[in-house]
Structures are given as structure tokens and as C-alpha cells.
Chains A and B, each alone.
Chain A
Amino acid sequence: MKPFSSLRPIFSALRRHKAAVTLLVLEIALTMAVLGNLLFIVNASMRLEHERTGVMGRDIGVIQSIGVIGTPNPGTAAGNIDLLDRVPGVVAASFGDVPFAGASTYPVYADPDLHKRLAAPYLFEGAQGYAKTLGVQVIAGRLPREDELPSSNAKIDPGLITQALAQRLYPQQSPLGRMLYLGQHGGGGVRIVGVMRELRGSITGRNSDGDSILLETRVGNQDFGGLYLIRSQPGQLKRVLPLAAKALQKANPGHVTSRVMTMAQIRQMVFRGASAINRILMAITAILLIVTALGVGGLASFWVQQRTRHIGTRRALGATRGAILRHFQAENLIIVSMGVALGAALTIGLNVLLMQRFAQPRLPLQYVAFGALAMWLLGQLAVLGPALRAARVPPTTAMRAA
């Protein structure tokens, strides 16, 4: 069979139904545009949920222990860290900020007079053993030495910065030994002694997420509350964290343990809203596809009904069932292809609108390709039922109807 001879009746049929064809093309194009953009938004947001923070999150747990003022408490910060360190299964313990909780951004300056503002990185502050507890990976320089850890009111602290921040502040140069000045934060300077591979204060998808500074300060006999951290032996956190919390509470009768959480739980809490929205958007996507499939199917089924007599005639003249089936499938393919052409333009147009208004990133072309594929598939599925029905039309219909 010549492949193109079968196309001619299709085109002549399409020309006679301009209105319906136009609507189908529009339907396909709009659905494709919304589908591509929705999937892009959902996918970008889901990818964030799995972005790394740079700490050994699976084995880190936090215990928020809040001092009740006026209640005497025998525990001290240094003593508490030692105590947590000795809990069986704990690899390292400290006190300080963790990604998503505590770490916040501060402007940093190149000079002590705060004239030249460089960036606004996340500041991770903790006590002795902090970097080890977080498990950050040092790729240049070193961690602050035990003997150079400042007490809380020092003016210059040794600190680490992330590779991302280093490359932005000192491109092509070594950051080691350079100074940074913190604006509002007690006004200290930071001497950079090391570079970390990565450490993110929060995960928003912006490049600045990975700009971080880590400072260690020695804590001693003060009694203060806040976030105590432990890192357990790999995979042991579920067992070790409650033990650590119990030990800490026992040693600090004047404190209230307000939260005991694993990093994984904190992360889940942070992304709760986004996951809920993603679920809704996925549901809308599904409904969208169903509505369009029903619309396309409805039109196809009408066409079949309208052309029952033509089909009967063709069957009587020798067309096989397969030929009738292919006719409707090819017809659908042609219409959907026109929709896809328009849809590709609309997909990009909608993305540009969202880029301008909501700082959405540019949509990769794979989404256009995926949308096109989805529309072809959807069209073929929607037309299958009506086309099969058409193929079953017996040749005698043509004669009976006459």
C-alpha cells in the first residue's frame, strides 16, 4: 500500500471540519503548554527536596535544651558536650546551628569599617567539635586548632568558608589567610583557615544557598541552652539519639528539652509545604490530561458516528478493517502534530511569562519534547476506542442507510 495515498482522504476530511480541527489543535496546544510548565515546576521543586546540605545528615540529631531562667542548673555547656560525646554510639557532639535551623545569613565585608560589602553568606556557629560533628568535608586548609579556638568575646575568629563562597569572593586565588568582617554579629573578623566542599544553610534553589561560613567558639562553664548536636555511628542515630537526650536531661534538671529531632525529620518538616503543593499540582496535571483525553475522544467519536455511512462505503469497496483503523489514527496524528507545533510555542511563551513574573528558571527543551510525546500518546489513546468502533462498521451499513 502506498503510504501517502491513504493521507489524501484525511486531508480532505480535515478541510471540511475546520472548526472542529481548530478546536482540537487549540486543545492539544494549551494542554501541552500547561503540562510542560507544570511538570517543570514540580520537578524542580522535587529535585530541591533531595539537594545535599553538605553535612552528614543521616547520622546527625539535634536536642534543643532550653534553660529555664531562675532555675538553678548544675550542667555547663562544655560539660554537656563532653557528656554527649561519651554516650555509646556517638562519634562527635557539639553545640550550634544546623542547616534549616539556626544558620541565617549575615552580610560580610572586606574591611573592618564595613564599607565594602562582599556577600551575605549563611553563618554556622558552634562550639568545640562543631565541624567534626557536622561532618563537613575540608578540601583545602584545615579545621581550627584546639588551641586557637576563641572564647565567645574574641574579635578575630579562625573560620572555614565553602568552596562556592571562596570562588565567588576570590576567583583564581587562594582564600586561605584572608580576612572577612561580619557586620552586625558582635562585629568580629574571620580569618579563613580552611575551605569546605559544601555547606548549605537552606535549600531554595538559589546559588547563594551554598555560601557559608563556619565558626567554632570555645564554650566553657557557662550554662546555656540551645541546639546540642550529636553525630552517631553510621545508621545508629535512631537508637543513640533518645539515649543522648535522656543523658542530657538528667544532667540538666534546670533545662527543658523542647525538641529532639533527626536532621532527616527537620528536612522533612522544611519540605512539607512544598511536597503538599507538588501533590496538588500533580493531581491537577492528571485531571488536565483526563479532561483533554475525554475531549479528544468525544470529538473522534462524533466523527466516527457522522461518517458511519462513508466508512461503510469504503468497507464495501474493499477497504480492510485495518485501513479504517489506520485512517482514524493517522487523522489524529496529523491533528495532534499541528497542536504540538503550536503547543511548543505556547510552552515556551508561558515559561517566559513565568520567568519574567516569578523568577522561574528557563525551561529546558526536553520538557517541550516530553510534552509533544505525551500529546501524541494521549491522542492515540483517546482515538483508539472510536477508531476501533469505526473499524467494526460492517460494509452493509452503506447499503442499508441508502
Chain B
Amino acid sequence: MRDIHGYYLRLALRSVARTPWISALMVLAIGLGIGACITTLTVYHLLSGDPLPQKSSRIFYPQVDPETSTFVRRDPPDLMDYTSAVDLWKSERADRQAVMTNSPLKILPTGAGTTAFDAPSLETTHDFFPMFDVPFQYGGPWSVADDTARAQVAVISKSLNDRLFGGGNSVGHMLPLAHGAVRIVGVLKHWRPAPMFFEVLAGRYSHGDTSGFYVKAPQVYLPFFTGMQLNAGHFQVFTCWKIPTDTVNLENQPCDWVSLWVQLDTAAKAQAYHRYLVDYSDQQRALGRFTHPTNVRLMDLMQWLAYNRVVPSDVHMQTILAWAFLAICLVNVAGLLLTKLLRRSSEYGVRRALGASRKAIFAQCLWEALVIGLLGGLLGLLLAVAGLWMVRQQPVAYADLAQPDPRMLALTVGLALLASVAFGLWPAWRASRISPAQQIKAP
């Protein structure tokens, strides 16, 4: 049986070589279709991936509805007010918990010829680092005590460390800010979560334009309460339900602007935490601070990303168009293969007359489709590498992520086999139906 298929393979190769132009055309068409598909599927896969694969199912995003306006939302707001977030953080009911917000932070490098610049910063608490498995190059996170002590410390990213300290160990050095300096306690390794999940929100209002979720991680990390003092006036609110009386110090304002992430290691703990959120909400309403009916959510990380529809809609659309493109290429190739096989009708007629079964003719033709499909796949893989290079040239936040990936290889083989069957099946069947008598009679 293997010998027979080896023979068919040799026949197929010979047949491909005998009609170089039409074969090249078929390989090119398959290559273009597969190339477009692999490019878009790879980008899609990268953008829809799990940013924290080892523990995303244990990371949760609690939501409550702290608003008191007459307008009641169906879904709780995407962020919390300061009081609720800090209350829940202080309660320590989760295995780990971190409050966070972000702001642009002005850095004033010392030395001649340097200019001030804004660095994206995250104001958070100790647990952020162990909870999200943030990798450190030098030093480590600030301590739990530093959180409440408003310690004047910071963790900086690799890129900022490269820029300010030439990549050296800057732990213990001072980071000069607009209002005084903070001591660096840790420097991160290269860290590029995609999407930057802990700042994903309001995806429902973005009309599919979500490429901003894939920006690079912040460059400065300050203890939350330290940041409140150091960078007051630079925090952005998500929404306010009453007119704020102070837009600089937002702590007691009727605005949503702080997020809370928690780690809950078991399903039972997650259930208990959800109950705790309900209790907290009920209790706050009893105190008169909340007025809306209790409306809490506890989505895990991947649910939160799905809720925010993180994959940009143009990436979705390009993926659909790429499939349509592949379909067109396949129909084209099917047409070409059909004509090519039927052109050799007399050859098959002779083989049938000499005793070859329909199955044998069918197998032989399918082998030919397979050879063309695999050659096309190979070309498609090369084109996909070029396609990803083109994506990297785009001015989008995720451009740097579009790198070739070993999984593309398996995808290519899968697509090539699928394509071969798709375009080869019908022509092969048609060729196998050729009646021997008629072909031999024909001159």
C-alpha cells in the first residue's frame, strides 16, 4: 500500500513538473490565500491570547455600583470610586489584592542637555507584582508596609532604566520627579503583557477601536498612596455621577476612577468573595453611601477581556476577509486543476482500460492536489512572514507583537492539507469518472 502511494507521489511530481506554468500558477494562488490567512490568524491569535496563561482563571476583577444618581446602569461602572476600592483592598478577603490607577508622571532627568518628559505610571499596591508574576531584573517590589507608610519609592521598567541609567543596576538611585525624588527599589525585566490587561476597560464604548489596549506596560510604578500625593491633579476619572467639588484631590469625589484586582485561588474562595461583595454593597446602602440596588460582578481575567471585546474589530474583519480570499484562491485552483486533469483524460482512460480502478485514479489525482497544496503552503508560510513584517510597519500599538511564531508551521500544514482536499476533491472525483472506452476510442 505504501509503495502504491509512493508511486502516485512520483506520478504527481512528474505531472507537476510537466506543466510548470499551470502548476506555478496554482501554487501561487494557494500561497497567496494561505499567506493572507496565516498572517491574519497569527495577529488574531496574538491579540486574543491569555496575557497570564498560568493563572488567569484565578485573577478576578470585582465591580460594584457606588453611584447615587437617578440613572441606574444595567452593568456596574468599569471602575470604582476611591472609597469602595480602598475599603475592599483593606479588607484583605482575597489571597492577593491590589488597587490601581494610572497617570502621566513628569520625570526631570538631571544633567546637561536632558529635557523633562512624561512617563506613563501606575499607582498600585505591593500585591500587584506577585499577583501578576511581574519579572524583576534588579531589586524587587516595595514592601506591604511601604503601601500604607506612603514610602517615597518606585519600581521602574526596563526601558526607563535603559534610558536613564544605561541599563545598569539603579536600585538605590533616586528618580527625579516634579515634586521631589523617589528611591528606586526595583527594576523590571522586559515585560510586555498583551493586552495590557490591568488597564483594559470601557471596551464596550470603543466601537471596536481597541488597539490602545495593546500599548506597552507603564514605565514607573509608585505605591498607590504615595502616588496620590506626588501626582495629584494628573489622575483621570472614568465618570462622575455628581459634580465634583475638587478635581485635584479625587479621594472623596463622586467619581469612578480606581480599579481593584484580586487573586482567588479556589472556586470556593471566588464564591465567598462574590458573597462578600454583595454584603459590602448591602452594608454601604444601609449606611446611605450607596443608593442603587446591589449590582456586583466578579469576572475572571479572560471574562473581563471578552466583556471588553479586546480584539480590535479591524483585526476581526481582516481575518474574515482573508478567509474569503483563500476561498477565492481555492476555487481558482480547483478550476485550473480540473482542466489540467481533464486534459489528460486519455491517459486515465488508458490506465482504466489496463485495469486501474476508479479509486486508484482518484488517489493519484488527490496526490497531485496534495503536492500542489503543500508547495502552496510553503510559499504561504514565506508570504506570511513577509505579511507579519508589514503588520510590524503599521502605526498601531500592537505592531511589535506581530512576530513569526513556531505555531505558524502547524497552521500552515493544516491549512495546506485542508486546501488540497478542498480544491482537489472534486477534480479528482471527476477524473475518476472518465469512461475508459470513450477515451480510447477518441483519437
Contact = CB atoms under 8 A, between A and B. Distances in A.
Secondary structure call for the A interface: helix
Interface in B313-366: 313-314, 316-317, 320-321, 324-325, 327-329, 331-336, 338-340, 342-343
Interface string A55-91: 0000000000010111000000000000000000000
Nearest to A26: B331
A256 B36 CA distance: 46
B244 A298 contact: no
B151 interface: no
Contact of B328 (A34, A115, A302, A354): A34
Contacts of A30: 324, 327-328, 331
B332 A294 contact: yes
Interface string A103-123: 000010000111101000000
A402 B442 CA distance: 10
Interface residues of B, number: 59
B143 interface: no
B116 A31 contact: no
Given A69-B179, A302-B343, A277 B207 contact: no
Contacts, number: 139
Nearest to A256: B115
Contacts of B430: 19
Given A30-B324, A358-B317, A20 B393 contact: no
Q: Is the interface of B mostly helix, strand, loop or mixed?
A: helix
Contacts of B369: none
Contact of A19 (B29, B320, B343, B426): B426
Given A19-B338, A20-B339, A287-B32, A277 B314 contact: yes
Interface in B1-57: 22, 25, 28-29, 32, 36
B393 A302 contact: no
Interface residue range, chain A:
35 or more
Given A291-B29, A357-B316, A298 B335 contact: yes
A154 interface: no
A33 B324 contact: yes
A394 interface: no
A302 B390 CA distance: 37
A239 interface: no
A277 B394 contact: yes
Most A Cβ at <10 Å: residue of B179, B331, B390? B331
Interface in A131-187: 181, 183-184, 186-187
Contacts of A354: 317, 320
Contact of B240 (A19, A183, A303): A183
A220 interface: no
A299 interface: yes
Name which of A19, A38, A305, A357 has the most chain B CB atoms within 10 A of its CB. A19
Nearest to B21: A298
13 contacts: A19-B338, A23-B335, A34-B321, A66-B116, A69-B108, A183-B240, A184-B243, A272-B395, A277-B394, A292-B328, A295-B331, A358-B208, A359-B207
Given A303-B339, A354-B317, 8 more contacts: A24-B335, A183-B243, A276-B393, A288-B328, A294-B25, A295-B335, A353-B320, A354-B320
